[in-house]
Every structure is written in structure tokens, then in C-alpha cells.
Amino acid sequence: MAAGSSGVGGSAKWDGAAPGDDDEDIIPRDIRFGILDNPTRHWLDGDFHKTALIDGLSIFLPEGERYFIRSLKHYAGKLGDAKLKAEINGYAVQEAFHTREHEEYNRALAKLGYDVEKMEAPVLKTLRSDKIPIFRLAVTCAIEHLTATLSTVTLRNPQFLENASPAYRRLWMWHALEELEHKAVALDVLAAATKNYSPFKRYMLRTLAFNAVCVNFLMITLRNLKLFAEVDGIKTGPRFWLKLLWVTFIAPGYWRKCAPLVLKYYMPGFNPLNKDDNALIRKGRDWLYAEFLALRAQNTPPQAG
């Protein structure tokens, strides 16, 4: 297994084969990025909107990833499928490392003066209200599709992060790669857990959960953008929201590029594995490995800035 491991003082190393040569589908990588050591405001192009949209994703992630792990682990011993159980375990380890790094990321946001607890409150309330295992699993599938979509767009368009502070760029590229590696696991579990459902009932469960996730994600994102702006002293008038529309739908057009992939979730026979997944995963693995080779040559820990 190719794995990154951290040493004293946040230094990092990469052990094993080049990621592009590894045949494993899901590779947990224990890498520390040092965001908390050097938190950076407006770290992407010096632009509030671009940065806050991505920082806002981190607000969802620690609680979200714990939720995902619980949702899938609930079924790991119930389905009688050793291969799927192994995939769930690999998924859980990846998500545990994501949780750790995004907890540090969010502490870095708090260090910059942002009210992270207030931003996280609706996320905690929403996710902790789900008590029915099969619905939690359907919600997990929905969120995993959104994160896989963002990850696919990120790996297809690495120029989006070209002018990012290095540690932030490494973290989000790493996260995008691993989301793509495990993006089919939750839906595989849902298919196994609902094998006695009719196709219509399974479709309705999947899409209604997706509708609920999209509405909540949009509402919380817009609310938290205002909270980010308040701390930065930025007025949230018409020009603020027009700039948001420009960034998300025109240039660089994050959400516009995501929309076709998002809508595929409503296809009755939706399959999360796109034909270019293997090429994108190899591209992401090669990029990450090259980045750590360069860091090793410089004897420089992967710190922010």
C-alpha cells in the first residue's frame, strides 16, 4: 500500500510505489498538511468568493465524514459480502484521515477569526437528526455523489487551484483523489441493503434523499458565506451575490461544470463509475506523488503558504 505518513513537526514522507502504478482501488494515505500551522485568508487567487466557497466545504466535512463512516459501518457485517466489507473498511480509513485534516482546517479557520461553531451548528443539527439506518445510508450516497462530482471537476481542471497556497492545494487535490477512489462504495452498499426493494422504491429513496441534501447544502452554504463575509468586513449586497453567480456559473464556473454530473444522479440506472475514472485517478495519484517527491527533494514539510 502506498501511504503518506507524518513525522515530528508536521514533516511528511511518501512510502511505497508511485500511486499511478498501484493496483489497489482504495488507498488510505496518512498525510498531514499543516494548515493549522499557517492558516491563510483568501488563499485562492486572493479572492474572497473563491476561497470562501471552498473553505465552506470544510465546514461540512468533519461531522459529515463521521456520519458516512457510521452509515456504512452499520451494514458492514450484515450483508455477507467480504469484498464489500473490505471496501467499507478502506473507505472508513480514508474518511477518518479526512476527518482529522478537516478538523485541523476548521481550527485554522477559527484561528483566523471565523465563527466555526456557528457555521457548523446547522450541519450538526441536520445530520444528527437522522435516526433511520437506511435513510442515513441514502443521505450518505447523496452527499458522496456531490463530493465525487466536485472531485471529478477538480481533477479535470487542476488550473482551478493553480494559484492556491501550496498546502491548501495539496490538501484539496488529495481529498479529491480519495473521494474518486471510493465514490462507488456507498451506492454499492445501498444496492446490497435494498436488494428486496422494488427498483421504483429504491429510486425514490435515493432521489428524495438527494433532493433533501441539495436543498440543505445550498441553504447552509449561502448562510455561511454571509458569516465569512461579516468577519472579512465585506458587504453582502447585490454586488456580492452577483459576484457569487459569476464565480459559480461563468468564470471559473464551478457549479456550471458540476451541473451535468450532478443531474446524472436522477437517471434510473445511474452508475457512479464514469468511463474516465481510471485516467483521472491515475492523474491524481501521479500529481500527488510528484508533489511529495518535490517536497522530499527540497526537504521541506508540506506547510501552508
**CATH code, domain with 69:** 1.10.620
3-class DSSP state for residue 14? strand
What pLDDT is attached to residue 304?
46
What pLDDT is attached to residue 60?
98
Strands (E), the chain: 3-6, 12-15
What pLDDT is attached to residue 294?
85
Virtual torsion, Cα 161, 167, 171, 172, nearest 10 deg: -20
Q: Determine the structural domain holding residue 98 and report its residue range.
A: 34-298
Angle at 48 between CA 44 and CA 51, to 5 degrees: 40
Q: Is the pLDDT of residue 197 over 60?
A: yes
Locus of grid cell 429513496? 205
Over range 16-30, report the average pLDDT: 65
Decide if 215 is inside a domain: yes
Q: Is the pLDDT of residue 2 over 70?
A: no
Looking at per-residue confidence, does 8 or 237 come out higher?
237
Decide if 10 is inside a domain: no
> The dihedral of CA 43, 45, 47, 48: what is its sign?
negative
Over range 96-106, report the average pLDDT: 98
Average pLDDT over the chain, rounded to an integer:
90
Decide if 237 is inside a domain: yes
What pLDDT is attached to residue 303?
55
Say what the pTM is: 0.91
Query: Are the C-beta atoms of 270 and 191 separated by less than 8 Å?
Result: no
Domains: count for the chain? 1
What amino acid is encoded at 162 in this protein? E
Decide if 24 is inside a domain: no
Decide if 84 is inside a domain: yes
Over range 163-175, report the average pLDDT: 96
Decide if 20 is inside a domain: no
What pLDDT is attached to residue 14?
44
Decide if 293 is inside a domain: yes
Over range 260-289, report the average pLDDT: 91
Decide if 7 is inside a domain: no
Over range 169-183, report the average pLDDT: 97
